[in-house]
Amino acid sequence: MALKTTAAQMVADARARIKEVETVDAIKSVDDPEVVIVDIRDIRERQRSGYIPGSVHAPRGMIEFWVDPDSLYFKDVFGQADKTYLFHCASGWRSALTVATLQDMGFEAAHLREGFSTWEAQGGPVEKEDTA
């Protein structure tokens, strides 16, 4: 069965119209109180690879509901109009689609172009859960 649009084309289309942030620039904003870093990876990915200190975990499947003030699932962290939101996933694909969707909703955000995949290698701090 042929699809009308592939996932790769959807990501490319999203990237063409959203703000992308390079890893090196995102690392500089880790301690910036005006930036909210949002991790949309699955909880198992965070447990396995660690996460950006201070990041907010918002599962991809709930993000539209969590940012919508009219939703029963709205989270206050997304109601801060004076903050800059930076979303990320593992490789930048899911976060590109997420930010494009949020932009369509009227929620301004950017995404980490390469995702978490290059974060640690480029010197980004990582926290790991204590599994002991």
Domain residue spans in the chain? 8-118
- Which long-range contacts link 26-32 to residues 24+ away (Cβ below 8 Å)? 26/86, 26/88, 26/112, 26/119, 26/124, 27/119, 27/122, 27/123, 27/124, 27/125, 29/84, 29/86, 30/54, 30/124, 30/125
Distance between CA atoms of 97 and 103, rounded to whole angstroms?
Answer: 10
Quote the mean pLDDT of the chain: 95
Q: Is a pLDDT exceeding 90 seen at residue 114?
A: yes
* pLDDT computed for residue 132 by the predictor: 52
Q: Quick one: average pLDDT of 89-93?
A: 96
Say which residue, 131 or 34, is predicted with more confidence: 34
pTM: predicted TM-score of the whole model, two decimal places:
0.94
Q: Is a pLDDT exceeding 80 seen at residue 131?
A: no
- Please give the CATH architecture assigned to the domain spanning 8-118: 3-Layer(aba) Sandwich (3.40)
Q: How confident is the model at residue 2 (pLDDT cuts 50, 70, 90)?
A: confident
Q: How confident is the model at residue 30 (pLDDT cuts 50, 70, 90)?
A: very high
